[in-house]
A and B are shown apart, each in its own frame.
Chain A
Amino acid sequence: MALKNRDAYKALEDVLGTEYISEEPAVLDSYAFQWGAELFTDTPFLPRSGAIVLPHKTEEVQAIVKICNKYKVRYKAISHGWGFYSALGLDENAIHIDMRRMNRIIEINEKSMYAVVEPYVSCAMLQAETLKKGLNVNMIGAGCNTCAMPLTAHQGTGSGGVSTSCGDRNCLAVEWVTPDGEIIKFGSLGSGNGWFCGDGPGPSLRGIIRGTQGVMGGLGIFTKAATKLYPWYGPPQPELEGASPYYRFKELPPNFDIHHPIFPSWDKLIEAAMKIAENELAMMIFRLPPPMLCEALTGSGDEGAELLAEIQQESNGRPGFLVIIAGSTVAEFNYRKKVLAQIMAETGGEFLSHLEKEDVKRMFLWSETRYSGGVREAFRAVGRFLGAIGDSAMFQTSTRLMLDCMELKKEFQKRGNIRADDGPDAIIGMIFENGHTGHAEQLIMCHPTGAGWRDLMEFTVECEKLAISKCYTAPVTVWGDDAHDRWGPHLCNYHLWLRKIKKTFDPNGVSEAAMYISAKE
């Protein structure tokens, strides 16, 4: 199944050269393979696109987009291309634009604390360079293998959000190829003043293209963007030891510590997390449920299962979270330690003993600094996951919604199609900007094949209904027309405005919007 419109293919080939375009079925299938494809096709493959193209610079992206508009060929750009969102909605009348050749770090500005990147720069690549300058990046929660650009990785939330915020807040100036092929530079860049600000001096379109969950590839292509950077108090080039899969700091960096406190109740957990955040103590507050915590801490699934039994015995149902404290000076670090101890005393928190082992601290501190959750935690145990993805409003409310969803999950686990040996608690939680906002998710894991996916989808819909009935705000997974139509009426009919935006900026409807919103009336 090659691109149907042969004139379009020829025009793309003329722009890119034969080396950077392919319609080989094997190549197309490698892009069609995605986790989560099973939700739509009952196979690990989504429908193939008509061609894959690999642009190298903004002008080439613009030329591709103009060709697509001319020939009414839909397109979708991907950076690291992880997840069904990257390929959904494509067919032989559409192309996939793989941005991997646009992989340059344009600038790291130490003084103004931002970095300008192209779409294929990963969080790990950027962090490796910023740490050398005493700066840290917002590490995306799906893992450092994701895009560092604060526009492409969905919400852009991560475990360190308490000190490094999240995508919508970190997005500064942007270079954007609009759906119909115009190159727009906005924020301070729009008035020739560099990359330091997303909203001016100069035109601001940040609200149009970003928001909480971004446009999921459905509104043109972002070719460069600046992201905020944050202080890093650790070594500029961390010295590590160990071999795969047990890499760790050679020594725990000065003025850093990591704990996993557990609490007598969820109320106490929320109280403690918010106190730590509001007192600006933490570099990271990250709620990993015990099964995922144990995956993160171990080198294999079997080790993870052993550790889970040990940790469950010690915690005995008491929920906890991960906290990293760091100080720029000994005095600051000691102050933070003291306040943390005080909060623990006030909330009945105890440190989980496994995380108090020195070698475990050295490993986990580096893995959380670098990786921020990801493949090990979410995929190794079962192969696939999804679930109720909460809102990004307040940590407290998001967590409470997820606790309600946990009760629902118990019912689904009884059906036997989704993972149940991990218990009902699969709540991930994080706090942004010292408590300003927060986020929580309730995950379900299931094998890629079988009835698990259908239960998983049903569970997600049930959770949505619950959220609507209890007047929580929209989750960050409102993807596609149906979801927007469900939520819009409960939230000031925002979806009608979103459609107007789509229609205005994408008059030919070629920027594939299966994960965003269409311009339908």
Chain B
Amino acid sequence: MLKDYREYMTICARCSNCKFIPQYRISSYKYAYSCPSISRYLFHAYSGGGRLATALSMTDGRIEYSDNLLDIIYKCQMCGACDISCKYGMDLEVLQPLYEFRVKCIEDGQLHPVHMTVIEGLRKEDNMLQKPKAERGKWAEGMDIKNITEDKVDVYYHVGCRYSFDSELWPAVKAAVNLLKKAGVNFGIAGKDETCCGGRAYDLGYLGELTKYAENNVEMLRTAGVKTVVTSCSDCYHAFKVLYDKIGMKGNVEVLHITEYLDLLIKEGKLKPKKNITATVTYHDPCHLGRLGEPWIHWKGEIITEPSKRFHHEPPKTFRRGAYGVYESPRNLLKSIPGLKLVEMTRIKEYTWCCGAGGGVVDAYPDFNMWTANERLKEAKDTGAEALVTACPWCIRSFKDAINENGDTLKIFDVVELLEKSIQD
């Protein structure tokens, strides 16, 4: 609950580090900022620290709900950049209270009208895109893939809402399927029976939907006897691996992103990139795969604030500071492709700049989504790369839409698409 984070909200130093990438990592004036929200909307309330102050103000009964307050709460991608930048200096939580603030809004009936439409669609069609659930498995038609509801498989390949319904992005999941087959993996999908992971609903504050879909998915895996989940969607990866664990529902299922799994398959010699791809590319770290993809660390205890002693946690608390997200696997895949040159942007890994789609921004504030994506595209182009490669369908959609809008020539790929090109017979 939000009030459980009161100590962290109080102890915020108001230093503004949450607005920048970790100060030690600032290597240019141009790309020093980390938070799209404060960068776009400017008032302090739109930063991580500003939102903590706002949450504290609400907890202490100083302010009441208003349209402007909801604007402050929801014009945020929940990308976690503020959390990482704060925690390299402080022992406090920034992102978790922001989740709780949104959960509180839902509990208090303070709903964003666009988010309500999305959630109604989710409740009806089991996806975040308001598409008919009957069409969910359409992407796999004619591919002869096992189905975990009927066949015995070792690995469940979860595609996710965006990849299921966004036909322009299907080449990436088809490429993943081809590579898994080529490597001889006994895997299956759920086809039309696949449902949303619930992660993006939680980003909007709908804890109940996360719990419901976690139950569905975990039950499906239990029934199928599957112990390994592989997904191409960073949001789904975050939900299965981190959020399900956070709410105590993950069990002992191993969750891997497709880039991690393919990296393993290459290391085991089951896949060998051979074909030359002569191109210079840059890699965009999706927030949910990188800093937010770090394993959940359970902690239950007390924050001790005896006046004569240092502030500390009993038992000691290990903070998630972003170091253990998935950063190397996608890069390893790119580096394994002959002829491909990887050049890095300024803001990478735990201090990456968001694509703009998270936290319901893609639905409620499409202009903010595009602004954020365009900021990233500028950074990508500054590297001299001809293509931006990433590992999340929400990021790819944001970048493709931004390019369609601005007429840019930068190409956008999923890592797996390039890998498949290099492995094709």
Contacts and interface: CB of A to CB of B under 8 A. Distances in A.
Q: Please determine whether chains A and B interact with each other in the same assembly.
A: yes
B68 A24 contact: yes
A417 to B, nearest CB: 5
Given A143-B15, A376-B90, A240 B56 contact: no
Contacts of B350: 243-244
Nearest to B44: A30
Contacts of B54: 26, 29-30
Interface in B338-357: 349-351
B378 to A, nearest CB: 16
A31 B44 contact: yes
A268 interface: no
A384 B310 CA distance: 11
A374 B312 contact: no
Interface in B1-24: 10-17, 20, 22-24
B28 A129 contact: yes
Given A81-B16, A243-B322, A299-B321, A29 B10 contact: no
Interface string A120-146: 011011111100000000000001110
Interface in A393-421: 413, 416-421
A105 B308 CA distance: 44
A240 B24 contact: yes
Contact of B68 (A27, A370, A451): A27
A505 interface: no
A interface, how many residues as a size bin?
35 or more
B28 A383 contact: no
Contacts of B299: none
Interface stretch (A207-215, A441-449, A496-504): A441-449
B189 to A, nearest CB: 34
B331 to A, nearest CB: 14
Interface in B95-145: none
A81 B350 CA distance: 26
Contacts, number: 212
Interface string B65-95: 0101100100000000000100111110000
B15 A29 contact: no
Given A24-B69, A26-B63, A29-B53, A125 B43 contact: no
A30 B87 contact: no
Contacts of A45: 53, 57, 62
Contacts of B89: 245, 374-376, 379-380
A300 B320 CA distance: 11
A418 B308 contact: yes
Interface in A40-55: 43-45, 52, 54
B23 A52 contact: no
B364 interface: no
A301 B62 contact: no
Contact of A98 (B43, B60, B321, B322): B43
B316 interface: yes
A26 B69 contact: yes
B27 interface: yes
A244 B16 contact: no
A392 interface: no
A145 B15 CA distance: 7
B309 interface: yes
Contacts of A418: 307-308
B130 to A, nearest CB: 31
B80 to A, nearest CB: 12
- List the 4 shortest-distance A-B pairs measured between CB atoms, nearest first: A33-B53, A243-B323, A245-B88, A30-B45
12 contacts: A26-B69, A27-B43, A29-B54, A98-B42, A124-B20, A124-B26, A144-B26, A240-B25, A243-B322, A243-B323, A244-B323, A301-B310
